[in-house]
Amino acid sequence: MAFIAPSWGGSWIVAINELLCWDQYFAVGGALRHIEFDPTPGTFNCADFPASVSTAPTQAMEISLYPAYNVISKFLYPNPELRRDIMCIGGTSQWPATIFRGTDQWGQPYGYILIDPIGGAIGAFAHGDGINTGGQSRTPICQLPNVEHTEQTFPVLFLYRKELRDSGGAGQYRGGLSAESCFIPHNTERMTHDTLSSGNATPTSTGMMGGYPSTTNAYTFITESDIQQRFRERRMPEDVSEVAGHPVELGLRQEDFTQTRDDVYAVRWSGGGGFGDPMERDPALIQKDLDGECVSESAAREIYGAVLTETGEVDPVATQKRREQIRQERVRRAGVPARRRAGEILVEANPALAVKRDADGVFWGCRSCSAELGPLDANYKTGCLEERHPAERSNPLVGDPLRFIDEAVEFRQFFCPGCGRLVENEIAVASDPLLCDTEVEVPG
């Protein structure tokens, strides 16, 4: 615990610096005088003996840091001025390490940790989109290595390094896109790899206040591929999915596996989480996403509720009508009548959620209509319409978590029972209770 608890507190200081003290230029002493750290022993980020902590304190820091962004952001949201400082969880929220070594073309030993995931992504803001491959938000200076320099220094040949469509979390404001690097050995017959990662089973860059998660980390390994034949035919792949061969499911702590010139390896890192209900996104921004290949047409239709013309253009009028139909269908599908209760808004908890007060007291309510979502001392999610989906529904690039873990994982969505508007999402183990993520105390 002596090694892990300091990294837990240190990770919180990173988020506090960025969201609350950015104008203090990383001089955090003043903030520290107002903070007490009280870690809970026996948890993931404050383990007790005899728990395995081989990659602590680094992993403890990452596990703690990124949820801290969402927690602090929820404190900030009710204040319209501070709301502009909100930032969702960014890319490379867990680092997918690629470690390779061997003998180069000059007969010299080499070894390298692929630094490409430092390209990360910046999560969405409460007023705008995140930044594609904008680095890791926790790192003041992030420099994505030059592909040519990596090829010059080590015996590798990159097939591509590209930003990935749909990798950023969907939302009223979209999370920044992440990227993928794909390569083969070059001027050497083989290299030896290790992987070291987490965040491959479930999204770790979760969205906020209705925003969707980003993609997960992912390793792809195709052995005995057709890549050399493609070279001879001058057909370079634009994506690893185009390469024929034998897919191998790599473990997240896999050691000493060999890659030859016929084997293709790719590593993908997580993007930025989204902010707000995707069906509140301006159709013009969806069109910009489609034109820039940031979002696929299927995601535009299924997640953003967009209606596309035969030429692939977003129809704003039809989109608004379609979104309203989707919301009404949610309410009809649940078959639960909403309790109507008008009241004065005391606290804006998120774009769709408010604390309200009438003559009978304070309560949770929808910001878009008069539906009540329950008493203030209860979890507002229990007053919402709830739908549970497989985790793969949270992002087009997320795979089945059961490849890596034993328990089923759900993508839970919570909608207003009156108007069908999305209030919040959560990723959770199916057996876990609903997360109570927001509590508000009203004086008097």
Domain boundaries along the sequence of the chain: 1-76, 92-281, 336-444
- Please state the three-class secondary structure of 99-153 as a single string: EEEEECCCCCEEEEECCHHHHECCCCECCCCCCCCCECCCCCCCCCCCHHHHHHH
**Alpha-carbon distance 40 to 44, whole Å?**
9
b/e string for 222-258 if b means 16 or more Cβ within 10 A?
bbebbbeebeeeeeebeebeebebeeeebebebeebe
Instruction: Return phi, psi of residue 419, to 5°.
Output: -115, -10
pLDDT in tens, the chain (444 residues): 444 556 677 778 888 888 888 888 778 888 888 888 887 888 777 777 887 766 656 666 777 788 888 899 999 999 999 999 999 998 887 889 999 999 998 999 999 999 999 999 999 999 999 999 999 887 777 788 999 999 999 999 999 999 999 999 999 999 999 999 999 999 999 999 999 988 899 999 999 999 999 999 999 999 999 999 999 999 999 999 999 999 999 999 999 999 999 999 999 999 999 999 999 999 999 999 999 999 999 999 999 999 999 999 999 999 999 999 999 999 999 888 999 998 999 999 999 999 999 999 999 999 999 999 999 999 999 999 999 999 999 999 999 999 999 999 999 999 999 999 999 999 999 999 999 999 999 887
